[in-house]
A and B are shown apart, each in its own frame.
Chain A
C-alpha cells in the first residue's frame, strides 16, 4: 500500500512578507447576503408615522413632540404627511408605535423595517494565499460556505502519514514535531499512531498534513490558505510511515479506531479519508470498511495515480466513494485512474500545467511539513506547498461529505446519493448518469446541501 501523490512541486512562499501585505488590499473580507431580513427586523430608534389629511401642521408638530420624537423627517413625496421619526433615547420602537397609533390625528404608525437585497449567501475568506486555490473555486466553495462551513461535532478521520497537529518531542526517536501554522481553531480529536504504537499521530512525512488541511485548514484567519470543511474536526490517524507506506492491518485498525471513538456519548467521526490505495486486496480491510458503513461512517478513497483503467483497492469497494482527479481545466488529470468503480472526480491538480495562469503549477496548495527539512529530522518547518494526485482529490470529497453530515445527514447512503445527484456531469455523461472517466462527475457540495423540497429539487 502506498500513498497516491502524483507529484510534489511548486512550493509557495510561506512567510508573510510583502505578499501578505499586498493580499490584504486585494482580498476582501467576509461578505454575506440574505434574501430577506429576519421577520420583524427593524431599525432601532425610528418609527414611521403617517398623519390623516385633516391634520394641520400644528397638530402634526404637537403630536410628534408628545409621542417622543427627537426629530422628524417629512417624506419628500406629496402623497400625504408621512414622517420618519427619530425617537428620544430610551423610548422603544413598540412603545412609540403604540403611543402614536392611539393619537386621533395619526393614520398609522409602524417600525421602520429593514429590507435587504436578494442574493444567495456566499463567503469569501481572507486567507492570504486563497487566490491560488483554484481547486476550491472549482468546487463552488464560496457558495458552499454560504450554506455550511462545517461543525466541530462532525469529524473526518484522516488515515495517512499523520498530521502536524501538536508541538511534541518524541523521546523514542529524539525528533521534534511542530503544529502546522494554519490550524487556527481547528478541532482535533485524539488520534492514534498505528505505525509506532502511540497516541501521537504526528506527521513524519508531509502527505497527511496536506490532506487534512484540504479538509479543515483554518479559514478566514488572514493566514495561508483555506480548507473546504474548515468548521469540522479532524482525527489524525497514522497508518503510513515516513516513506508513505503502510499495511492493510494498520489501515483496518485505524478505521475501527475512528469508528469506535466516542466522546460524550456521541461518535463524532462520520467520514474516513483514505488518500491511499493498493493493487492488492484484503478481507481485513474490506471488513473494517463494511463495519464503518454499517455504523454510519462514510469512507472516501483515492482511485489511484497510475492512469490505468482500473480503480485501486479499497476505493473500488461498493461502500467506498472512489475519487479521481481533475486538473484546473476541469478535465481528467492524466495520472488519474478510471474505471467502472469510479464514483466521483474532484480537484487533484496537475503541477506540470498552469492553465489558470497564476504563475504556479496547478497543484493543490495546503500547509504541510516542508519536505526539504525532513531528511534532517525536522518536522516543525512548514510551507504552503502544492501537490497533485488523487490523494489530493479525495479530501475534497471527504470534506463535502462532512459538510452534508454537518447539515443534518445521518446516513452515508444518503450522502452518497445526494452527492451523486448534485454532481456536475462531465465528459458527456448523461444527466443522472455516469461514465468511467469521471464517474458521476465533479462533486458540488453547494448543490447537494439544499436537499429536496416538495416539488423542487436540489438544483435551483
Chain B
C-alpha cells in the first residue's frame, strides 16, 4: 500500500467507525454557495446572482431517523449603487460602495433515510428568520436598511460516515417573501424575496 493512499483509507475508516443512533447530537459546519432569488437585483448591484455562504447547525436525531436541526448561515456581497430606470433598462454603475448581508437563522425538521448506514440521505423542511442588512454610503451620507423577516425552507442532502467525523452535502431552497422590494433596485425589478438556492458542503461531528 502506498503512503499516498493510506491517509485516504484512514479517513474512510474514521467516517465508517460506528453507527449513528437515536438521541444522536451532531454539530455541523457549512460552507458553499447561495444564489439569491432576487437575481436581477443581485446581478445589477454585485455583477453576480450569488456567492459564498458559510454557517453551522446543531442537529438532534430524536427518534429513528427523525431529526430537528437549528442553525444559521451568512451571506454577504459587496458592490456599488446603481441606477436602473426600468426592468429592461441598462444598469448605470455609480461607484458608491454598497454591502448587503443576509443571515438566515433556521429551524428544520426532517428524516434521515437509512439512518445508521454509511451513506444517509435526508430531507427536511422548516422555518427561518432572515436578518437583512444593507449598508451604502454616498459622500458621507449613509443609505442603510436593516430588517428581518420570517420565511420557509426545504432541503435535501446526503451524509457520509458513521463515526464521530462525517461529511455531507446539502441543497435547498428558501423563500422569504415580502422582505424587500419597497425601494431600490428590488422595487424596480419587482423582486421581494430574500430567499434563494443554497448548496453547501458539511463537516459533521457527531456525539
Of residues 143 through 158 on chain B, the ones whose CB sits less than 8 Å from some CB of chain A are 143-145
B56 within 8 A of A: no
Give the complex CA separation of A455 and B101 in angstroms. Answer: 12
A455 touches which of B83, B93, B134, B140 (Cβ 8 Å): B134
Q: Which residue of A lies closest to B41 (CB)?
A: A454
Is residue A271 contacting chain B, with contact meaning CB distance below 8 A? no
**Cross-chain contact B85 with A454 (CB below 8 angstroms):** no
CA distance A407 to B143 in the complex (A): 17
Which of B85, B93, B98, B144 is most buried by chain A, counting CB atoms within 10 A of its CB?
B85
| Contact pick for B81, options A120, A146, A411, A453, CB 8 Å | A453
Cross-chain contact A457 with B141 (CB below 8 angstroms):
no
Chain B nearest CB: distance from A140 CB in Å? Answer: 12
Please state if B98 and A453 are interface contacts (CB–CB under 8 Å).
yes
| B204 CB to nearest chain A CB (Å) | 33
B90: A residues at CB distance < 8 A: 410-411, 414
Q: Which residue of chain B is the closest to A411 with respect to CB atoms?
A: B90
Is the CB–CB distance between B98 and A418 below 8 Å? no
> Which of chain B's residues have a CB closer than 8 A to the CB of A33?
140
| Cross-interface CB contact of A454 among B86, B139, B186, cutoff 8 Å | B186
Most buried by B among A119, A414, A416, A460: A414
Task: Please tell me which stretch of A127-135, A195-203, A351-359, A444-452 contacts chain B, meaning at least 4 of its Cβ atoms lie within 8 angstroms of it.
Answer: A444-452
A110 to B184, CA, bound (A): 39
Bound-complex Cα distance A35 to B89 (A)? 32
Name A460's contact: one of B82, B93, B98, B143 (CB within 8 Å): B143
Given A409-B83, A454-B41, A455-B180, decide whether A35 and B141 contact each other with a Cβ distance below 8 A: yes
- Given contacts A409-B92, A418-B83, 11 further A-B pairs with CB under 8 A are A35-B137, A35-B141, A410-B90, A413-B89, A417-B85, A418-B85, A451-B96, A452-B83, A455-B182, A458-B83, A460-B142
For B26-40 the 0/1 string (1 means CB < 8 A from A) is: 000000000000100
Interface residues on chain A, number (Cβ under 8 Å) = 30
Chain A interface (Cβ < 8 Å from any Cβ of B): 33-35, 118-121, 146-147, 407-411, 413-414, 416-418, 449-458, 460
Chain B residues with CB under 8 Å of A453's CB are 45, 81, 98, 134, 136, 143, 145, 183-185
Looking at chain A's contact residues, is the secondary structure mostly helix, strand, loop, or mixed? loop
Cα A399 to Cα B94 with chains together (Å): 17
The smallest C-beta distance from B99 to any residue of chain A, in angstroms, reads 10
**Contact partner of B145 among A407, A408, A417, A455, CB < 8 A?**
A455
B183 contacts across to A, CB distance below 8 A: 452-453, 455-457
Instruction: Give Cα distance in the complex from A417 to B89, angstroms.
Output: 11
Complex CA–CA separation, A458 to B185 (angstroms): 10
CB-defined interface of B87-108 with A at 8 Å, one 1/0 digit per residue? Answer: 0011011111010100000000
Report Cα–Cα, A146/B141, bound state, in Å: 10
B92 touches A455 (CB 8 A): no
- Asked whether A456 and B139 contact (CB < 8 A) given A413-B85, A450-B81, A450-B94, the answer is no
Closest A residue to B81 using CB positions: A451
Q: Are B185 and A408 in contact (CB under 8 A)?
A: no
Tell me, in angstroms, the Cα distance from A24 to B90 when the chains sit together: 46
Chain A residues, Cβ within 8 Å of B172: none
**Distance in Å from the Cβ of B137 to the closest Cβ of chain A?**
6
The B119-177 residues at the A interface (CB cut-off 8 A) are 132, 134, 136-145
CB distance from B74 to the nearest CB of A (A): 16
